[in-house]
Amino acid sequence: MIAELHKKKHRRQGGPTRILGIESSCDETAAAIVEDGRHLIATSLSSSQQIHAQYGGVVPEVAAREHAMAILPVVESVLRQSSLALDDVDGIAVTQGPGLLGALLVGVTFAKTLGMALDIPVVGVHHLEAHLYANALEEALEFPALGLLVSGGHTSLLLWHDYLHWDVLGETRDDAAGEAFDKGSRILGAAYPGGPEIERLARQARHRSLRLPIADLGDTLDFSFSGVKTATKSLWEIHSDEAEEVAYALQQAVVKALVKNLERALDSYPVRHIYLAGGVSANQALRDSVRHLGEKRNIKIHIPRIEYCTDNAAMVAAIGYHRMREGKFLDIFEGPVATLPLG
């Protein structure tokens, strides 16, 4: 790959637009090549999740080190898979934020350096917005729509007008849905990450009679999950021999809170499409509940395949295609942004 940078080739003209996507916001280093914002050509991912599991969560310094070691191999991997050369790439899209600053710095620095060497444009991508574009890898996007973003660090409800235009209808006031699962998993003495563990335990629940409260925030479409974490701890102290039942109660409380606001949003914004995205959208109970809502309201529900729910570079390349078409290039002096609001 490095030697290829020294080759002087005539860049191809016409044909599909190929975007190299790079993701390094947390504990997964990923690269992908996507054509025209929809067609995945190749993808590669290196996860440091097992390393962080021994600490019970992501350690920023360790994550940055792992990204630095993995980023070149994952890019080389997608080039081999696709049988493409660097000269066949038309642009680079990289996660600019939000995320861990050191981790983001690795990806952004690599992308800008590679873009300068190849003389191709680089666009910075919002990590949460990119999650919605995982749906574009399944089928063409349709607007207007509601978007529900649920991940380990973020929970947001959006009114999606067009490819790069949306309004934020509601956000979490404290903890995110994924944080509630992670904390609940630690309370129950289960492994990290918490989402898959809570789902695994919940599937084994037999009685399913325990209940946890859902925050009442009045007329807003905001979310709050800090209270359910505290309630989970109290419930566990009483039912410490019923991990499966407590996990089921936690999962139900989180899912009901999400779907409740989604249904209330439909009352004010009667769209025909709902897009689910983010790591927590891999939870089967949530997927089933949103699909049930779609059947009840006669609305089309769009949910990515499991492998596209968690962090990946294909979604980064997909939204990067649209940002590139609008000329939203990353300035040479722009760097990563750890805290980056939606919109």
Predicted pLDDT at 60 = 79
Local structure of 54: helix, strand or coil: coil
Q: Confidence band (pLDDT; 50, 70, 90) for 8?
A: very low
Q: Do residues 34 and 57 make contact, with C-beta atoms less than 8 angstroms apart?
A: no
Interval 180-197 mean pLDDT: 92
What confidence category does residue 1 fall into, taking pLDDT thresholds of 50, 70 and 90?
low
Between CA 130 and CA 316 the distance in angstroms is: 5
- Rounded distance, CA 227 to CA 62, Å? 31
pLDDT band at 90 (very low <50, low <70, confident <90, very high): very high
Mean pLDDT, range 310-318, rounded to an integer: 96
Cα 226–Cα 99–Cα 191 angle in degrees, nearest 5: 55
The CATH class of 3-133+310-325 is alpha beta
Q: How far apart are CA 190 and CA 31, in angstroms?
A: 31
Tell me if 3-133+310-325 shares its fold with 141-303: yes
Question: Could you identify the residue written with the tokens 């942004």?
Answer: 337
**Are the C-beta atoms of 35 and 17 separated by less than 8 Å?**
yes
Q: Write out pLDDT tens, residues 112-164.
A: 999 999 999 999 999 999 999 999 998 999 999 999 999 878 899 999 999 99
pTM above 0.85, yes or no: yes
Closest by CA position to 315, among listed 160, 126, 173, 174: 126
Q: Decide if pLDDT at 278 tops 90.
A: yes
pLDDT tens, 235-250? Answer: 999 999 999 999 999 9
Return the domain boundaries, the chain.
3-133+310-325, 141-303
CATH of domain 141-303: 3.30.420.40
Q: Report which residue type is found at 336.
A: P
Whole-number Å distance between alpha carbons of 133 and 135: 5
Rounded Cα gap, residues 90 and 17, in angstroms = 6
Give the DSSP H/E element, type plus range, for residue 229: helix 226-238
